[in-house]
Homo-oligomer: A and B are copies of this chain.
Amino acid sequence: MEHATAEEVRAVGLRAKEAAAVLRTLTRAQKDAALLAIADALHVNAERIVAENERDITAARNAGTDPAIIDRLTLTTERLDAIAHAVRNVAALPDPVGDVVRGYSLPNGLKVRQIKVPLGVVGMIYEARPNVTVDAAALCLKSGNAALLRGSASAAHSNQVLIDTMRNALATTDVPEDAICRVPGLSHDSVEHLMRARGIVDVLIPRGGAGLIRSVVENSVVPVIETGVGNCHVYLHSDAPTDRAVAIVVNAKTQRVSVCNAAETLLVHKDAADRLLPPVFEALKAKGVTVHCDDAAHRLAKDAGINVMAVTDHDWAEEYYSLDLAVGVVDDLEAAIGHIARWSSGHTEAIVTDSLHVADRFCEAVDSAAVMVNASTRFTDGEELGFGAEIGISTQKLHARGPMALPELTTTKFLIEGEGHVRA
């Protein structure tokens, strides 16, 4: 496996930093032209990219990798078309750089503007999804940032050919090639070096499993945006209409199970358990869900004939990523809020109710990135919220919270103009 020294990682980072200094001053037209050149190059090089991807797939098959992971790793010409299309969509999005966040004149005549500017160098650490290589590079480029990409060893050939393709495309544009750089090294030490490159890398965004994210959060000296861990809850209040409750629980749990905004725990008000749980269990049973129930819910699950197990604290804490759902009956709204405060990862929680007062209290008391009232947890997503793109979903409170798109890849700068002003 390819190793890299700290000096090698820092050298690439410094090249990205130099590119960032150029990128910061480019116009939207210059950046969009580069994005379109990248999209074209992905088409032109599709055959070579698919062939290189095949090498990763073969290696993964030989290593006995899980078919679901191999599927995520796989690039076809159709998937490359979709990736190129996404790059064109990014080109069509507004450029956040230069947006005035606030602007005013002070009593002494100083003119103050706070404007959005690129972060600089954005490091991405991610797992075996080669589409992230292009998505992340495109979003960074559009927002004026240089991208330092550290994908997984299992996608090494795919990432290399994608990065080569993008860099060659940039060579024909005003954007420096080093705006998109591969972090050298495929063993863990190159991630370690990246996490210590403070002063070169402005932010690290890890994308992948909980283990990867925790490791980066705990060990990085570079500022990190924590993404994607979602232990999401749906709470059915005593007045929840049955049809709406069933539809939202089924959608939140089963529409796609391997994503962070899927529901992992269902809480039901005790006065509505007998009314709501039988049809909810009926519908979940039809989708093949196993429920992990507390005592009050257990009896109703047995009656419904759904696959059922006794719930443990481990279930309340877990993000299943599977057709499993923890189910509990709570005494009241406050008990639901308390349960969520104890177990949630702060991603998304939903309530089903018709009471304005109950909805307001839930929205106010629940401390998560997104709170849904009468809607599925699955809507916490940059595309669904109309951002046009998404680089990740922040589950931390600093800088960005919830789905992150182009504006979240910027910082600000104060521009202050005087006429010789000095401080008294």
Contacts and interface: CB of A to CB of B under 8 A. Distances in A.
Interface string A236-267: 00000101100110111001000000000000
Task: Specify the main secondary structure of chain A where it touches its partner.
Answer: mixed
A274 B126 CA distance: 55
Contact of A371 (B119, B379, B401, B415): B415
A167 B275 CA distance: 47
A423 B255 contact: yes
Given A21-B341, A247-B422, A401 B397 contact: no
Contact of A375 (B119, B120, B368, B418): B418
A210 B221 CA distance: 16
Interface stretch (A83-91, A104-112, A150-158): A104-112
Contacts of A413: 367-371, 401-402
A241 B373 CA distance: 61
Interface residues on A, range: 35 or more
Given A25-B365, A423-B379, A398 B398 contact: yes
Contacts of A411: 397-398, 401
B402 A24 contact: no
Interface of A: 21, 24-25, 104, 106, 110, 112, 114, 117, 119-120, 198, 202-203, 217-218, 221, 223-225, 241, 243-244, 247-248, 250-252, 255, 341, 352, 359, 363-365, 367-376, 378-380, 384-386, 396-399, 401-402, 411-423
